Structure 1
Amino acid sequence: MRSEYVEAVLALVELVPPGAAVAYGDVAELLGSGGARQVGSVMSHHGSSVPWWRVLRASGEAPQGLGAEALQFYLAEKTPLLGRYLDFIRTGEGRWRVDLMAARWAPDDHDFDLIDSIAERLERQLHKLSAPDDEMTV
């Protein structure tokens, strides 16, 4: 995966505020590049330095294998949850998920300006890398 894409995904994830969440596909859509699987791959391999728990599956399920750890963050940030998360805390049993309808991040104008800047920088970097040599000298 190109480092430019990794950097753009991580920069966007850092914008998601506490208590909010986005799906992998939301990140790709906001960047205007890649898809849910590519964002998931970035988060899986490089996401430990950003609030990874705020990026999840479209179903609202926490990243695979990280549910118990993510739940602690969700509770601390008062992220809206659905299901039997209290049972999960007590016994390790019970299914739960983030209520993505309630928790989905709605960027404001300032956020969109930052997102646009990240997406434009990514586009310039990717175009520069893919441009033939004669285009780069113009």
Structure 2
Amino acid sequence: MTDRVLGTVDLIPAGRVASYGDIAALAATGPRQVGRIMSRHGHLTCWWRVVRADGTSAVADRAAAHWDAEGIWHREGRVDMRACRWNN
């Protein structure tokens, strides 16, 4: 399961984000399991590209530099999901 989730996260292109639910649907698991895996193993992948469904992140302060570098539109800790959501 961990490999499936991290492998799916690796597919998100630079400049795009996906929600925990998006990743869960592709990896055939639940969003809470994705969250658990990302909390333990997210450092192995592009963790800043996985956000909550509303575009927020628990670690937006750390993610913001990555979002800026990739041109991911965000404001006040919230990614613009309409503009930046990965449509796999």
How many angstroms does 1:27 deviate by?
0.5
* Pairs within 5 Å for 1:1-138: 5-31=1-27, 33-62=28-57, 64=58, 66-81=59-74, 83=75, 95-107=76-88
Aligned-CA RMSD value: 1.0
Higher relative contact order (CA 8 A, sep 6+): 2
Q: Which amino acid aligns with 2:44?
A: S
How many angstroms does 1:69 deviate by?
1.3
TM-score under structure 2 length normalisation: 0.94
Residues 20-42 of structure 1: CA deviation (Å, up to 9, x unaligned): 000000001112x2111110100
Residues 76-113 of structure 1: CA deviation (Å, up to 9, x unaligned): 000022x3xxxxxxxxxxx3300011111112xxxxxx
Give the number of aligned pairs.
Answer: 88
Unpaired runs of 5+ in structure 1? 84-94, 108-138
- Name the SS for the 1:11 alignment partner: helix
TM-score under structure 1 length normalisation: 0.61
- Quote the Cα distance in structure 2 between the aligned partners of 1:71 and 1:77: 10
Q: Which runs of 4+ in 1 moved over 2 A?
A: none
> How much identity, in percent, do the aligned residues show?
41
